[in-house]
């Protein structure tokens, strides 16, 4: 019998802004940037959420819903600093910590019960230490598996501690809406509604054959989850699963040359981060968001593991030309390195010695003076205003602070 915790920092980015500027306490804080510009909400304080503001919402919509909102740009270096501090607290209770994003992680504390007490006791101690040492509030779910622990941590935010007793997983999940369950998105919800299913308990009551016929192998997984069954282990890792950047344009763009220049800029930054983490990419993913928020992603493998901007950029441009819809304006473009591995495993690095020395010199300048201290001449006359999702992701989809 395992004891799994899911710890989730409440409204993390917004909470950091309030922590560093106490005059913001009790006010509707929205992290994402200028509300008059293009972009989306990265995080919203609970005061702002009362107006209907939530993560991934367009900033202009957030301003319309919450005209008294205090809009702030993201400070991701600060968020990473505090995230590392909190993750070190988690690691003091167990070495089995699996970060999911900057603000949440799974902990397997099964082997720590003798030293620290039951799961509920450990959860309470973690909440106390995080508040005392970082000034932040964390909600914790305790269960026998990751699925139930994750759902539990979200039920009584902010500052919640919810325990799912062993053997009561199915009963805990039964009254909750099916949208709480992993793998149930809008399409699945509509399909399940055809069977009269709106709660997880109703889903668990469907014959397994019905789910298999309707959803294939995914239906079998849904049936298991609806009964609170999840055998997935907590996998400790500090290495990102992906490294990517996105840019939201001030005005929708149809100029292919401008999109290519932007990809070059993004590829430079992605490659620099790969080298900073001693990683190499095996594949590249392109993301395009058109007007109206229609979003597509395309990915392809690189010819070889790489940490230089040139092959990443070249493949990004290839994907762009394959995916770009004619006569459609692009609102956002993103480039992500995936399939990461340790750069030390490359055969004496894939770049020639001279190129490797050059990139190391460039990285040294950027680390000392900032990412914009040195750039390609072709980009100097075409400076876009950047609003990036700038992070390394433990999981590929995680983009905004949704706690």
Task: Please say whether the beta carbons of 55 and 25 come within 8 A.
Answer: no
Residue 45: both structure tokens together: 């304080």
Strand partners for 163: 142
CA distance 261 to 274: 20
Q: Are strands 104-108 and 70-72 parallel, antiparallel or unpaired?
A: unpaired
In the block, tokens 């909190």 appear at: 86
Task: Please say whether the beta carbons of 142 and 119 come within 8 A.
Answer: yes
Task: Please say whether the beta carbons of 270 and 243 come within 8 A.
Answer: yes
Please, what is the angle between helix 309-323 and helix 256-276, to 10°? 140
Task: Please say whether the beta carbons of 242 and 338 come within 8 A.
Answer: yes
CA distance 344 to 365: 22
CA distance 264 to 306: 15
- 128 noted as active-site residue: no
Phi, psi of 210 (to 5 degrees): -65, -45
* Distance, CA of 143 to chain centre: 23
CA distance 337 to 277: 13
Residue 141: both structure tokens together: 């779910």
CA distance 310 to 281: 12
In the block, tokens 């959420």 appear at: 49
Residues 6+ apart with CB under 8 A from 367: 276
E strand spans, 236-329: 242-253, 279-290, 295-306
Identified catalytic residue from 47, 98, 104, 246? 104
- Closest-CA residue to 150 (of 117, 166, 121, 173): 173
- Return the active site residues: 104
């Amino acid at each position: 019998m395992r004891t799994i915790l899911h710890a989730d920092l409440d409204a993390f980015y917004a909470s950091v802004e309030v922590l560093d500027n106490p005059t913001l306490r009790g006010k509707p804080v929205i992290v994402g940037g200028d509300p008059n510009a293009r972009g989306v909400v990265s995080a919203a304080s609970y005061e702002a959420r009362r107006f209907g503001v939530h993560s991934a919402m367009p900033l202009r919509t957030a301003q319309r819903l919450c005209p008294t909102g205090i809009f702030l740009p993201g400070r991701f270096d600060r968020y990473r600093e505090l995230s590392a501090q909190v993750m070190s607290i988690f690691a003091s209770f167990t070495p089995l910590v699996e970060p999911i994003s900057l603000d949440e992680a799974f902990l397997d504390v099964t082997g720590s019960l003798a030293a620290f007490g039951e799961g509920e006791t450990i959860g309470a101690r973690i909440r106390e230490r995080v508040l005392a040492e970082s000034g932040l509030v964390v909600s914790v779910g305790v269960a026998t598996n990751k699925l139930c622990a994750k759902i539990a941590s979200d039920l009584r935010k902010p500052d919640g501690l919810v325990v799912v007793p062993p053997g009561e997983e199915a009963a805990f999940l039964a009254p909750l809406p099916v949208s709480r369950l992993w793998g149930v998105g809008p399409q699945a919800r509509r399909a399940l509604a055809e069977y009269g299913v709106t709660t997880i308990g109703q889903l668990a009551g469907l014959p397994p054959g019905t789910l298999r016929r309707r959803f294939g192998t995914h239906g079998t997984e849904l049936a298991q989850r609806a009964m609170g069954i999840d055998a997935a282990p907590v996998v400790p890792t500090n290495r990102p699963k992906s490294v990517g950047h996105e840019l939201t344009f001030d005005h929708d763009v149809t100029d292919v040359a401008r999109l290519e220049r932007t990809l070059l800029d993004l590829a430079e930054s992605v490659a620099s981060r790969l080298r900073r983490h001693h990683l190499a990419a095996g594949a590249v993913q392109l993301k395009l968001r058109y007007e109206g928020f229609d979003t597509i992603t395309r990915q392809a493998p690189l010819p070889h593991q790489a940490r230089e901007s040139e092959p990443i950029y070249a493949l990004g441009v290839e994907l762009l030309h394959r995916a770009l819809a004619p006569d459609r304006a692009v609102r956002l473009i993103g480039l992500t390195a995936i399939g990461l591995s340790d750069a030390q495993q490359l055969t004496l690095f894939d770049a020639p010695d001279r190129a490797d020395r050059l990139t190391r010199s460039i990285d040294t300048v950027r680390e000392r003076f900032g990412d914009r201290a040195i750039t390609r001449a072709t980009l100097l006359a075409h400076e876009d205003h950047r609003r990036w999702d700038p992070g390394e992701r433990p999981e590929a989809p995680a983009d905004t602070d949704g706690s």
